[in-house]
Structure 1
Amino acid sequence: MKCPYCSFPDSKVIDSRPKDSKIKRRRECINCGARFTTFEEVEKPLLMVEKRSGSYEEFDRKKLITGVYNAIGKRPIPINVVNEIADYVENYFANALKSVARSKEIGEIVLDRLREIDPIAYIRFASVYEDFTDVNSFIEVINEVERKRMEDKNG
Protein backbone atom coordinates (compact mmCIF):
# COMPACT_ATOMS: atom_id res chain seq x y z
CA MET A 1 0.00 0.00 0.00
CA LYS A 2 1.48 3.33 -1.10
CA CYS A 3 1.99 5.92 1.68
CA PRO A 4 -0.26 8.97 1.16
CA TYR A 5 2.39 11.23 2.79
CA CYS A 6 5.73 10.26 1.18
CA SER A 7 4.50 7.93 -1.63
CA PHE A 8 6.75 5.11 -0.47
CA PRO A 9 5.35 1.90 -2.03
CA ASP A 10 5.29 -0.22 1.12
CA SER A 11 3.67 -0.14 4.56
CA LYS A 12 2.99 -2.53 7.40
CA VAL A 13 -0.35 -3.36 9.00
CA ILE A 14 -0.52 -2.38 12.67
CA ASP A 15 -4.17 -3.25 13.37
CA SER A 16 -6.94 -4.93 11.42
CA ARG A 17 -10.62 -5.25 12.34
CA PRO A 18 -13.96 -5.75 10.60
CA LYS A 19 -16.17 -2.69 10.12
CA ASP A 20 -19.57 -3.13 8.43
CA SER A 21 -18.90 -5.23 5.31
CA LYS A 22 -15.30 -4.02 5.06
CA ILE A 23 -12.00 -4.54 6.86
CA LYS A 24 -10.46 -1.49 8.49
CA ARG A 25 -6.65 -1.58 8.52
CA ARG A 26 -4.37 0.77 10.41
CA ARG A 27 -1.05 1.02 8.56
CA GLU A 28 2.38 2.51 9.16
CA CYS A 29 4.75 3.63 6.40
CA ILE A 30 8.06 1.78 6.55
CA ASN A 31 9.88 4.85 5.18
CA CYS A 32 8.51 7.91 7.06
CA GLY A 33 6.62 6.25 9.95
CA ALA A 34 3.35 8.05 9.17
CA ARG A 35 0.18 6.20 10.08
CA PHE A 36 -2.95 6.00 7.96
CA THR A 37 -6.17 3.99 7.65
CA THR A 38 -7.37 1.94 4.70
CA PHE A 39 -10.59 0.05 4.10
CA GLU A 40 -10.70 -3.23 2.25
CA GLU A 41 -13.74 -4.99 0.82
CA VAL A 42 -14.30 -8.14 -1.17
CA GLU A 43 -15.02 -7.46 -4.80
CA LYS A 44 -18.14 -9.29 -5.89
CA PRO A 45 -18.36 -10.53 -9.47
CA LEU A 46 -20.62 -8.67 -11.90
CA LEU A 47 -24.09 -10.21 -11.88
CA MET A 48 -26.33 -9.75 -14.91
CA VAL A 49 -30.10 -10.23 -14.68
CA GLU A 50 -32.04 -11.79 -17.52
CA LYS A 51 -35.42 -10.07 -17.60
CA ARG A 52 -38.68 -11.74 -18.62
CA SER A 53 -38.47 -9.92 -21.96
CA GLY A 54 -35.15 -11.63 -22.69
CA SER A 55 -33.10 -8.45 -22.23
CA TYR A 56 -30.23 -8.19 -19.76
CA GLU A 57 -29.33 -5.57 -17.20
CA GLU A 58 -26.77 -5.30 -14.42
CA PHE A 59 -27.99 -6.47 -11.00
CA ASP A 60 -29.07 -3.42 -9.03
CA ARG A 61 -29.03 -3.97 -5.28
CA LYS A 62 -30.86 -0.69 -4.69
CA LYS A 63 -33.67 -1.77 -7.01
CA LEU A 64 -34.06 -5.04 -5.10
CA ILE A 65 -34.06 -3.25 -1.74
CA THR A 66 -36.66 -0.76 -3.00
CA GLY A 67 -38.92 -3.63 -4.11
CA VAL A 68 -38.64 -5.34 -0.74
CA TYR A 69 -39.25 -2.04 1.11
CA ASN A 70 -42.40 -1.53 -0.96
CA ALA A 71 -43.63 -4.98 0.04
CA ILE A 72 -42.82 -4.43 3.69
CA GLY A 73 -44.62 -1.09 3.79
CA LYS A 74 -45.38 -0.20 7.40
CA ARG A 75 -44.89 -3.73 8.72
CA PRO A 76 -42.86 -4.19 11.94
CA ILE A 77 -39.77 -5.51 10.17
CA PRO A 78 -36.29 -4.17 11.05
CA ILE A 79 -34.38 -2.38 8.29
CA ASN A 80 -31.40 -4.73 8.62
CA VAL A 81 -33.65 -7.62 7.50
CA VAL A 82 -34.05 -5.97 4.09
CA ASN A 83 -30.27 -5.68 3.74
CA GLU A 84 -29.91 -9.30 4.80
CA ILE A 85 -32.28 -10.35 2.00
CA ALA A 86 -30.23 -8.37 -0.54
CA ASP A 87 -27.00 -9.85 0.85
CA TYR A 88 -28.48 -13.34 0.65
CA VAL A 89 -29.44 -12.87 -3.02
CA GLU A 90 -26.00 -11.51 -3.96
CA ASN A 91 -24.15 -14.22 -2.02
CA TYR A 92 -26.37 -16.98 -3.40
CA PHE A 93 -25.33 -16.25 -6.98
CA ALA A 94 -21.70 -15.44 -6.08
CA ASN A 95 -21.34 -18.74 -4.21
CA ALA A 96 -22.90 -20.60 -7.13
CA LEU A 97 -20.35 -18.86 -9.38
CA LYS A 98 -23.17 -17.62 -11.60
CA SER A 99 -22.75 -14.40 -13.54
CA VAL A 100 -26.29 -14.44 -14.96
CA ALA A 101 -29.49 -14.78 -12.93
CA ARG A 102 -33.02 -14.89 -14.25
CA SER A 103 -35.30 -12.30 -12.66
CA LYS A 104 -37.63 -15.20 -11.86
CA GLU A 105 -34.92 -16.85 -9.73
CA ILE A 106 -34.29 -13.63 -7.81
CA GLY A 107 -38.01 -13.14 -7.22
CA GLU A 108 -38.42 -16.69 -5.93
CA ILE A 109 -35.52 -16.29 -3.51
CA VAL A 110 -37.01 -13.05 -2.16
CA LEU A 111 -40.45 -14.68 -1.87
CA ASP A 112 -38.98 -17.60 0.09
CA ARG A 113 -37.28 -15.20 2.51
CA LEU A 114 -40.39 -13.01 2.92
CA ARG A 115 -42.60 -16.07 3.49
CA GLU A 116 -40.49 -16.86 6.57
CA ILE A 117 -40.45 -13.25 7.81
CA ASP A 118 -43.93 -11.78 7.29
CA PRO A 119 -47.02 -13.15 5.48
CA ILE A 120 -48.35 -9.69 4.55
CA ALA A 121 -45.03 -8.61 3.01
CA TYR A 122 -44.94 -11.95 1.19
CA ILE A 123 -48.41 -11.37 -0.31
CA ARG A 124 -47.54 -7.79 -1.29
CA PHE A 125 -44.31 -8.83 -3.00
CA ALA A 126 -46.01 -11.78 -4.69
CA SER A 127 -48.75 -9.52 -6.07
CA VAL A 128 -46.16 -7.42 -7.92
CA TYR A 129 -43.74 -10.23 -8.76
CA GLU A 130 -46.46 -12.57 -10.05
CA ASP A 131 -48.26 -9.63 -11.71
CA PHE A 132 -51.69 -10.44 -10.28
CA THR A 133 -54.46 -9.39 -12.65
CA ASP A 134 -57.52 -10.46 -10.68
CA VAL A 135 -58.86 -11.01 -7.18
CA ASN A 136 -58.65 -14.80 -7.49
CA SER A 137 -54.85 -14.58 -7.70
CA PHE A 138 -54.80 -12.78 -4.34
CA ILE A 139 -57.19 -15.28 -2.82
CA GLU A 140 -55.02 -18.23 -3.94
CA VAL A 141 -51.89 -16.75 -2.34
CA ILE A 142 -53.75 -15.82 0.85
CA ASN A 143 -55.12 -19.37 1.09
CA GLU A 144 -51.61 -20.75 0.56
CA VAL A 145 -50.25 -18.56 3.37
CA GLU A 146 -53.10 -19.58 5.68
CA ARG A 147 -52.60 -23.29 4.86
CA LYS A 148 -48.89 -22.98 5.66
CA ARG A 149 -49.65 -21.15 8.92
CA MET A 150 -52.08 -23.90 9.99
CA GLU A 151 -49.55 -26.64 9.11
CA ASP A 152 -46.90 -24.89 11.19
CA LYS A 153 -49.36 -24.42 14.06
CA ASN A 154 -50.44 -28.09 14.06
CA GLY A 155 -46.91 -29.39 13.79
Structure 2
Amino acid sequence: MSNYRRHYIPGGSWFFTVNLKNRQSDLLIRHIALLRRATSFVKHHKPFHIDAWVILPEHMHCIWTLPENDSDFSGRWRDLKKMFTRSLNSRDIWQPRFWEHTLRDEEDFRRHRDYININPVKHGWVARVSDWPYSTFHRDVRDGIYPLDWAGEVADLSAGERREE
Protein backbone atom coordinates (compact mmCIF):
# COMPACT_ATOMS: atom_id res chain seq x y z
CA MET A 1 0.00 0.00 0.00
CA SER A 2 1.32 3.45 -0.85
CA ASN A 3 2.17 5.97 1.81
CA TYR A 4 -0.06 8.81 0.56
CA ARG A 5 0.56 12.25 2.04
CA ARG A 6 -1.71 15.22 1.72
CA HIS A 7 -0.31 18.73 1.36
CA TYR A 8 -1.75 20.94 4.10
CA ILE A 9 -1.11 24.69 3.91
CA PRO A 10 -2.97 27.05 6.25
CA GLY A 11 -5.10 29.39 4.14
CA GLY A 12 -4.34 27.41 0.98
CA SER A 13 -6.44 26.75 -2.08
CA TRP A 14 -7.03 23.27 -3.46
CA PHE A 15 -8.65 21.63 -6.46
CA PHE A 16 -10.65 18.52 -5.48
CA THR A 17 -12.23 15.60 -7.28
CA VAL A 18 -14.72 13.54 -5.29
CA ASN A 19 -16.41 10.46 -6.77
CA LEU A 20 -19.31 8.23 -5.92
CA LYS A 21 -18.50 4.55 -5.69
CA ASN A 22 -21.09 3.78 -8.38
CA ARG A 23 -19.87 5.72 -11.40
CA GLN A 24 -23.21 5.07 -13.18
CA SER A 25 -25.22 6.78 -10.43
CA ASP A 26 -26.97 10.13 -10.60
CA LEU A 27 -27.25 10.61 -6.83
CA LEU A 28 -25.44 13.94 -6.71
CA ILE A 29 -27.79 15.77 -9.05
CA ARG A 30 -30.89 13.76 -8.12
CA HIS A 31 -30.37 14.83 -4.50
CA ILE A 32 -28.76 18.21 -5.18
CA ALA A 33 -30.77 19.89 -2.41
CA LEU A 34 -29.38 17.46 0.18
CA LEU A 35 -25.85 17.99 -1.12
CA ARG A 36 -26.29 21.77 -0.93
CA ARG A 37 -27.68 21.46 2.61
CA ALA A 38 -24.73 19.32 3.71
CA THR A 39 -22.30 21.79 2.12
CA SER A 40 -23.96 24.77 3.82
CA PHE A 41 -23.92 23.03 7.19
CA VAL A 42 -20.24 22.15 6.97
CA LYS A 43 -19.36 25.60 5.61
CA HIS A 44 -21.19 27.24 8.52
CA HIS A 45 -19.36 25.15 11.15
CA LYS A 46 -15.98 25.00 9.43
CA PRO A 47 -15.78 28.01 7.08
CA PHE A 48 -14.19 27.87 3.64
CA HIS A 49 -14.60 29.80 0.41
CA ILE A 50 -16.00 28.06 -2.66
CA ASP A 51 -13.99 29.45 -5.56
CA ALA A 52 -15.49 27.07 -8.13
CA TRP A 53 -17.66 23.95 -8.12
CA VAL A 54 -19.33 21.69 -10.64
CA ILE A 55 -21.53 18.79 -9.65
CA LEU A 56 -22.06 16.01 -12.17
CA PRO A 57 -24.28 12.98 -11.60
CA GLU A 58 -21.57 10.77 -10.06
CA HIS A 59 -18.62 13.05 -9.32
CA MET A 60 -17.74 16.64 -8.58
CA HIS A 61 -14.81 19.01 -8.92
CA CYS A 62 -14.26 22.12 -6.87
CA ILE A 63 -11.76 24.66 -5.64
CA TRP A 64 -11.85 25.66 -2.00
CA THR A 65 -9.79 28.26 -0.15
CA LEU A 66 -9.54 27.81 3.61
CA PRO A 67 -9.22 30.53 6.25
CA GLU A 68 -5.76 31.91 6.98
CA ASN A 69 -4.93 29.67 9.96
CA ASP A 70 -6.75 26.53 8.82
CA SER A 71 -5.71 23.65 6.58
CA ASP A 72 -8.24 20.94 7.53
CA PHE A 73 -9.88 20.26 4.18
CA SER A 74 -9.96 16.52 5.00
CA GLY A 75 -12.23 17.08 8.00
CA ARG A 76 -14.56 19.20 5.91
CA TRP A 77 -14.83 16.49 3.23
CA ARG A 78 -15.35 13.80 5.87
CA ASP A 79 -18.20 15.80 7.43
CA LEU A 80 -19.79 16.73 4.10
CA LYS A 81 -19.71 13.16 2.78
CA LYS A 82 -21.02 11.77 6.06
CA MET A 83 -23.89 14.27 6.29
CA PHE A 84 -24.96 13.72 2.68
CA THR A 85 -24.82 9.93 3.10
CA ARG A 86 -26.87 10.02 6.31
CA SER A 87 -29.46 12.33 4.76
CA LEU A 88 -30.06 9.62 2.14
CA ASN A 89 -30.39 6.96 4.85
CA SER A 90 -27.70 5.15 2.95
CA ARG A 91 -24.10 4.06 3.41
CA ASP A 92 -21.00 3.31 1.48
CA ILE A 93 -21.84 5.53 -1.51
CA TRP A 94 -18.48 7.31 -1.88
CA GLN A 95 -15.21 6.15 -3.31
CA PRO A 96 -12.69 6.07 -0.49
CA ARG A 97 -10.77 9.28 -0.07
CA PHE A 98 -10.74 12.05 -2.66
CA TRP A 99 -8.15 13.58 -4.95
CA GLU A 100 -6.68 17.00 -4.25
CA HIS A 101 -4.15 19.27 -5.89
CA THR A 102 -2.64 22.24 -4.08
CA LEU A 103 -2.95 25.28 -6.32
CA ARG A 104 0.46 26.89 -6.76
CA ASP A 105 -0.29 30.24 -8.37
CA GLU A 106 -2.87 32.28 -10.27
CA GLU A 107 -2.24 30.44 -13.55
CA ASP A 108 -2.71 27.05 -11.87
CA PHE A 109 -5.90 28.39 -10.23
CA ARG A 110 -7.25 29.69 -13.57
CA ARG A 111 -6.54 26.45 -15.43
CA HIS A 112 -8.31 24.38 -12.78
CA ARG A 113 -11.30 26.73 -12.66
CA ASP A 114 -11.58 26.49 -16.45
CA TYR A 115 -11.39 22.68 -16.18
CA ILE A 116 -14.22 22.70 -13.64
CA ASN A 117 -16.41 24.83 -15.87
CA ILE A 118 -15.84 22.83 -19.05
CA ASN A 119 -16.37 19.46 -17.35
CA PRO A 120 -20.10 19.01 -18.17
CA VAL A 121 -19.27 19.63 -21.84
CA LYS A 122 -16.26 17.30 -21.68
CA HIS A 123 -18.47 14.49 -20.35
CA GLY A 124 -21.17 15.09 -22.96
CA TRP A 125 -23.94 16.32 -20.66
CA VAL A 126 -24.39 19.65 -22.46
CA ALA A 127 -23.11 21.42 -25.57
CA ARG A 128 -22.51 24.76 -23.80
CA VAL A 129 -21.06 25.43 -20.35
CA SER A 130 -23.93 27.81 -19.63
CA ASP A 131 -26.47 24.99 -20.07
CA TRP A 132 -25.28 23.02 -17.02
CA PRO A 133 -27.23 24.18 -13.93
CA TYR A 134 -25.03 22.64 -11.19
CA SER A 135 -22.01 24.91 -11.44
CA THR A 136 -20.60 28.11 -10.01
CA PHE A 137 -20.07 29.17 -13.63
CA HIS A 138 -23.36 31.09 -13.42
CA ARG A 139 -22.12 33.02 -10.38
CA ASP A 140 -18.86 33.78 -12.20
CA VAL A 141 -20.81 35.12 -15.20
CA ARG A 142 -22.80 37.42 -12.87
CA ASP A 143 -19.49 38.55 -11.30
CA GLY A 144 -17.96 39.31 -14.72
CA ILE A 145 -15.27 36.59 -14.53
CA TYR A 146 -16.59 34.73 -17.58
CA PRO A 147 -18.83 35.76 -20.49
CA LEU A 148 -22.03 33.71 -20.80
CA ASP A 149 -20.81 32.16 -24.06
CA TRP A 150 -17.38 31.17 -22.67
CA ALA A 151 -15.96 28.16 -24.54
CA GLY A 152 -18.69 28.47 -27.19
CA GLU A 153 -20.87 25.58 -28.23
CA VAL A 154 -19.55 22.11 -28.87
CA ALA A 155 -21.61 20.70 -31.74
CA ASP A 156 -19.73 17.40 -32.03
CA LEU A 157 -19.24 15.71 -28.69
CA SER A 158 -17.79 12.55 -30.22
CA ALA A 159 -14.24 13.77 -29.55
CA GLY A 160 -14.88 14.09 -25.82
CA GLU A 161 -16.06 11.73 -23.14
CA ARG A 162 -19.73 10.86 -23.40
CA ARG A 163 -22.10 9.70 -20.75
CA GLU A 164 -23.45 6.17 -20.93
CA GLU A 165 -26.89 5.98 -22.52
TM-score (norm 1): 0.35
With a CA cutoff of 8 Å and minimum separation of 6, indicate the structure with the bigger relative contact order.
2
Structure with greater strand percent: 1
Indicate the structure (1 or 2) with the bigger Cα radius of gyration.
1
TM-score (norm 2): 0.33
